[in-house]
Amino acid sequence: MGALFGDRLDRYLGRSVAGAWLAALLFMVLLVSLIDLLLHLGGYLRGADERGAGTLELLVDLAAFYALSVPLTFVMVAPFVTVIAAMFTVSAFFSTNEIAPMLFCGRSILRVLRPVLAVAVTSALLMAACWEWVIPATNETWTAMSKRLDADESVEQSKNVVLKVREGGVDQTLLVTRYDHAARRMSGVTLVDRGSGPHDVVTVVASEAVWDPAREDWALTDGERLVPGRGTPQPWLAVPSATPDLITRLGKEGKETLQLSYSELLDLRALRPGRRDLVMAFHAHLTFPLANLVLLLLALPFAISYERGRRIERVVFAVLVCGLYLVTDLSCQSLGLATLHPVLAAWLPTIVFGAFGSVFFAGMRS
């Protein structure tokens, strides 16, 4: 147990940086929530007025909404929280001359900072856990609350869902204007079946389609089968692969990629292999947790100083380096959607800045 949690000095420094991490996280969550509230307050007030909600009900809804927003906010700010907490803790230990005795006892600076790195690794693992389990578990409730605050009734609906079936000689495209997940109802249904030749195109249109579990098919309302020169009634959709589960998964394409888990992104990538944004989002889900370590390796060498003075300048320079990483990451993401390969765009900032950070960190005076 002692080897797992380190000795007393490790636990002392670990408690300090963990406390600073929690304080910085609370500050960042409150700051992001306050900014979001100020930006959307007008819409929330109009929504409350439309549904006849009083002040107390609005406050309760806002508290619930921003509580549900914490996992999303966490994955956005966690790397910066880690850097802020680590720099604050290390600077505080230097200012109170607590690092020097540790070094005098024979510890290297790399050994002293091991608890700080452990907190960064923990933060990265928490980000991955949030993306895979916490955010998907709370996303539907968060979306419902968001729609409620904006007085939008389309809580469980996806818009403009597209399904393409191209296998076994079949070439079909299903277009759905709106899909209600709870009722398993599609609205504005259009099926284009191109057949085997240029003159075999068949179009099926319907105002609605409701899933029939007994028949395992979609019952069409006002369904009509259109071929060149004539139209006939069409009571069923007759596309076996168009199951409610698949339509629901396709409906997730409308979500922000930040809200999608690793498994959901893999699902959508299999359905849409040509979507660059999905490929890049999946790899960004891997690289952004690593930013906890990358930014720490970059920042700490500039924040640590054994000489008097110049500590503020070093901390400011470290913050600028972190800002440069963020700008580079955003620029690579933009290039990944256009010209640069999405996998390279997602990993390039981590590789480049991680290499520099490793060199700087390993070269610190011990």
As a whole number, mean pLDDT of residues 8-15 equals 91
Average pLDDT, whole number, for the chain? Answer: 87
Q: Do the domain assignments include residue 259?
A: no
Q: What percent of the chain has pLDDT over 70?
A: 92
Report pLDDT for 254. Answer: 66
Q: Do the domain assignments include residue 262?
A: no
Q: Do the domain assignments include residue 90?
A: yes
User: Is 88 in contact with 318 (CB distance < 8 Å)?
Assistant: no
pLDDT at 308 exceeding the cut of 50: yes
Per-residue confidence at 21, pLDDT binned at 50, 70, 90?
very high
SS (H, E, C) 176-229: EEEEECCCCEEEEEEEEECCCCCCCCEEEEEEEEEEECCCCEEEEECCEEEECC
pLDDT at 119 exceeding the cut of 80: yes
Amino acid (one-letter) located at 196: S
Q: Are residues 293 and 344 in the same domain?
A: yes
As a whole number, mean pLDDT of residues 346-351 equals 96
User: Is 271 in contact with 289 (CB distance < 8 Å)?
Assistant: no
Scanning 51-69, the segments in alpha helix (DSSP H) are 55-68
CA distance 320 to 323: 5
Report pLDDT for 168. Answer: 72
Q: Do the domain assignments include residue 210?
A: yes
Q: Do the domain assignments include residue 321?
A: yes
- Range 283-287, long-range pairs (CB < 8 A, 24+ positions): 283/342, 283/343, 283/346, 283/347, 284/257, 284/333, 284/346, 285/128, 285/131, 286/346, 287/346, 287/347, 287/349, 287/350
Q: Are residues 17 and 39 in the same domain?
A: yes
Q: Are residues 126 and 202 in the same domain?
A: no
CA distance 45 to 37: 11
As a whole number, mean pLDDT of residues 271-275 equals 80
Q: Which residue has the higher pLDDT, 215 or 96?
A: 215
pLDDT at 155 exceeding the cut of 60: no
Q: Are residues 192 and 208 in the same domain?
A: yes
For 151, list phi and psi in degrees, rounded to 5.
60, 40
Q: Are residues 143 and 175 in the same domain?
A: no
Q: Are residues 211 and 224 in the same domain?
A: yes
Q: Are residues 146 and 181 in the same domain?
A: no
54, containing H or E segment: none
Report pLDDT for 275. Answer: 84
Model-level pTM? 0.83
Rounding to the nearest 10 degrees, give the CA dihedral for residues 132, 293, 115, 105. 170
Report pLDDT for 165. Answer: 85
Query: How do residues 283-292 score in pLDDT, each as one tens digit?
Result: 999 999 999 9
Look up residue 161 and give its two tokens.
């869902």
Report pLDDT for 104. Answer: 81
Q: Do the domain assignments include residue 266?
A: no
Q: Which of 198, 220, 252 is the last residue before a domain boundary?
A: 252
Q: Are residues 13 and 130 in the same domain?
A: yes
Per-residue confidence at 171, pLDDT binned at 50, 70, 90?
confident
334: domain range? 2-152+276-362
pLDDT at 18 exceeding the cut of 90: yes
Q: Do the domain assignments include residue 271?
A: no
208 vs 172, 178, 212, CA distance in Å? 18, 9, 13
Q: Are residues 284 and 322 in the same domain?
A: yes
Q: Do the domain assignments include residue 34?
A: yes
Q: How many domains are contained in the chain?
A: 2
